[in-house]
Amino acid sequence: MAKTQAQKLIANNKKAYHDYFIEQTYEAGLSLAGTEVKSLRLGQCSIKEAFITIDSRRNVWIQRMHINPYEKGNLFNKDPLRTRQLLLHQSEINQIAGQIKLKGYTVVPLKVYLKGSLVKLEIGLARGKKLYDKRADIAKKDQQREAQREFKVRNVG
Protein backbone atom coordinates (compact mmCIF):
# COMPACT_ATOMS: atom_id res chain seq x y z
CA MET A 1 0.00 0.00 0.00
CA ALA A 2 1.20 3.47 -0.85
CA LYS A 3 1.45 5.89 2.02
CA THR A 4 -0.04 9.33 1.59
CA GLN A 5 2.58 11.99 2.16
CA ALA A 6 1.61 14.98 4.26
CA GLN A 7 1.97 18.35 2.60
CA LYS A 8 2.87 21.43 4.63
CA LEU A 9 2.16 24.71 2.84
CA ILE A 10 5.04 27.18 3.09
CA ALA A 11 3.98 30.01 0.74
CA ASN A 12 0.94 30.69 -1.40
CA ASN A 13 0.53 33.14 -4.31
CA LYS A 14 -3.06 34.38 -4.05
CA LYS A 15 -2.37 37.23 -6.45
CA ALA A 16 -1.73 34.75 -9.28
CA TYR A 17 -5.29 33.45 -9.02
CA HIS A 18 -6.57 37.03 -9.11
CA ASP A 19 -4.50 38.10 -12.13
CA TYR A 20 -4.54 34.92 -14.25
CA PHE A 21 -6.72 32.05 -15.43
CA ILE A 22 -4.74 28.95 -14.41
CA GLU A 23 -5.10 26.40 -17.22
CA GLN A 24 -2.80 23.62 -16.02
CA THR A 25 -0.55 22.97 -13.02
CA TYR A 26 2.75 21.15 -12.66
CA GLU A 27 4.73 20.03 -9.63
CA ALA A 28 8.41 20.96 -9.78
CA GLY A 29 11.30 20.28 -7.46
CA LEU A 30 13.67 23.05 -6.39
CA SER A 31 17.45 23.00 -6.44
CA LEU A 32 18.35 24.50 -3.06
CA ALA A 33 21.25 24.86 -0.64
CA GLY A 34 21.05 23.30 2.84
CA THR A 35 20.48 26.55 4.72
CA GLU A 36 17.68 27.47 2.30
CA VAL A 37 15.87 24.22 3.09
CA LYS A 38 16.19 24.90 6.83
CA SER A 39 14.79 28.39 6.33
CA LEU A 40 11.89 27.01 4.25
CA ARG A 41 11.04 24.51 6.99
CA LEU A 42 10.56 27.54 9.26
CA GLY A 43 8.15 29.04 6.68
CA GLN A 44 10.44 31.91 5.64
CA CYS A 45 9.59 32.30 1.95
CA SER A 46 7.76 34.67 -0.40
CA ILE A 47 6.79 34.10 -4.04
CA LYS A 48 4.65 37.20 -4.60
CA GLU A 49 7.20 38.90 -6.86
CA ALA A 50 8.60 35.68 -8.37
CA PHE A 51 8.42 34.68 -12.03
CA ILE A 52 9.56 31.70 -14.09
CA THR A 53 11.72 31.66 -17.22
CA ILE A 54 12.90 28.96 -19.64
CA ASP A 55 16.32 29.52 -21.20
CA SER A 56 17.62 28.42 -24.61
CA ARG A 57 19.02 25.14 -23.18
CA ARG A 58 15.56 24.17 -21.86
CA ASN A 59 16.36 24.82 -18.20
CA VAL A 60 13.57 26.25 -16.07
CA TRP A 61 14.46 28.96 -13.53
CA ILE A 62 12.56 30.82 -10.84
CA GLN A 63 13.69 34.38 -10.26
CA ARG A 64 13.04 36.82 -7.40
CA MET A 65 11.78 34.10 -5.05
CA HIS A 66 12.72 35.41 -1.61
CA ILE A 67 13.99 32.91 0.98
CA ASN A 68 15.08 34.59 4.20
CA PRO A 69 18.63 33.72 5.28
CA TYR A 70 18.77 31.01 7.95
CA GLU A 71 19.68 32.75 11.21
CA LYS A 72 22.25 30.12 12.26
CA GLY A 73 23.68 29.69 8.77
CA ASN A 74 26.28 32.52 8.84
CA LEU A 75 28.71 32.09 5.92
CA PHE A 76 26.74 29.19 4.37
CA ASN A 77 23.75 31.46 3.64
CA LYS A 78 23.08 32.27 -0.02
CA ASP A 79 21.66 35.43 -1.56
CA PRO A 80 17.94 35.55 -0.63
CA LEU A 81 16.86 36.56 -4.16
CA ARG A 82 19.20 34.33 -6.18
CA THR A 83 17.95 32.53 -9.29
CA ARG A 84 17.11 28.89 -8.53
CA GLN A 85 16.66 26.00 -10.95
CA LEU A 86 13.39 24.09 -11.13
CA LEU A 87 13.48 20.34 -11.62
CA LEU A 88 10.97 19.05 -14.18
CA HIS A 89 10.88 16.20 -16.66
CA GLN A 90 12.08 17.15 -20.13
CA SER A 91 8.69 16.26 -21.64
CA GLU A 92 6.96 18.68 -19.23
CA ILE A 93 9.45 21.43 -20.08
CA ASN A 94 8.85 20.88 -23.82
CA GLN A 95 5.09 20.98 -23.30
CA ILE A 96 5.27 24.21 -21.29
CA ALA A 97 7.67 25.86 -23.76
CA GLY A 98 5.39 24.93 -26.66
CA GLN A 99 2.33 26.45 -24.97
CA ILE A 100 4.23 29.65 -24.19
CA LYS A 101 5.44 29.98 -27.77
CA LEU A 102 2.21 29.10 -29.61
CA LYS A 103 -0.63 30.31 -27.41
CA GLY A 104 0.99 33.16 -25.48
CA TYR A 105 0.67 31.63 -22.03
CA THR A 106 2.87 32.56 -19.10
CA VAL A 107 4.17 30.42 -16.25
CA VAL A 108 3.54 31.58 -12.67
CA PRO A 109 4.52 30.10 -9.30
CA LEU A 110 1.43 29.16 -7.29
CA LYS A 111 2.64 27.64 -4.02
CA VAL A 112 5.67 26.25 -2.22
CA TYR A 113 5.18 23.26 0.05
CA LEU A 114 6.95 20.38 1.76
CA LYS A 115 6.04 16.95 0.44
CA GLY A 116 7.54 14.49 2.87
CA SER A 117 11.13 15.69 3.19
CA LEU A 118 11.23 17.39 -0.25
CA VAL A 119 10.51 21.02 -1.12
CA LYS A 120 8.14 21.29 -4.08
CA LEU A 121 6.85 24.24 -6.10
CA GLU A 122 3.51 24.17 -7.89
CA ILE A 123 3.64 26.17 -11.10
CA GLY A 124 0.74 27.02 -13.35
CA LEU A 125 0.36 27.59 -17.07
CA ALA A 126 -1.66 30.80 -17.02
CA ARG A 127 -3.50 33.20 -19.29
CA GLY A 128 -3.89 36.83 -18.19
CA LYS A 129 -7.24 38.19 -17.04
CA LYS A 130 -8.72 41.39 -18.36
CA LEU A 131 -10.06 44.03 -15.98
CA TYR A 132 -13.68 43.01 -16.58
CA ASP A 133 -12.83 39.38 -15.75
CA LYS A 134 -11.38 40.50 -12.41
CA ARG A 135 -14.49 42.57 -11.66
CA ALA A 136 -16.75 39.61 -12.48
CA ASP A 137 -14.77 37.37 -10.11
CA ILE A 138 -15.04 39.92 -7.29
CA ALA A 139 -18.79 40.27 -7.87
CA LYS A 140 -19.20 36.48 -7.83
CA LYS A 141 -17.29 36.18 -4.53
CA ASP A 142 -19.40 38.96 -2.98
CA GLN A 143 -22.57 37.19 -4.09
CA GLN A 144 -21.42 33.88 -2.58
CA ARG A 145 -20.44 35.60 0.67
CA GLU A 146 -23.85 37.28 0.89
CA ALA A 147 -25.69 34.00 0.21
CA GLN A 148 -23.61 32.27 2.90
CA ARG A 149 -24.44 35.04 5.36
CA GLU A 150 -28.20 34.79 4.64
CA PHE A 151 -28.08 31.00 4.98
CA LYS A 152 -26.33 31.32 8.34
CA VAL A 153 -28.86 33.90 9.65
CA ARG A 154 -31.83 31.82 8.43
CA ASN A 155 -30.61 28.65 10.16
CA VAL A 156 -29.70 30.34 13.45
CA GLY A 157 -32.93 32.31 13.86
pLDDT band at 157; cut points 50, 70, 90:
low
End-to-end CA distance of the chain: 48
**pLDDT for res 18:** 83
Is pLDDT above 90 for 89?
yes
Instruction: Kindly report, residue by residue over 18-29, the tens digit of the pLDDT.
Output: 888 888 899 999
| Fold assignment, 7-130 | Small Protein B; Chain: A; (2.40.280)
Q: What is the three-class DSSP state of 70?
A: coil
What gap in Å lies between CA 34 and CA 149, rounded to an integer?
A: 47
**pLDDT for res 2:** 57
Mean pLDDT score, 132-155 = 84
Q: Show me where the domains of the chain are located.
A: 7-130
Q: Work out the angle at residue 9's Cα, subtended by the Cα atoms of residues 15 and 12, and round it to the nearest 5 degrees.
A: 5
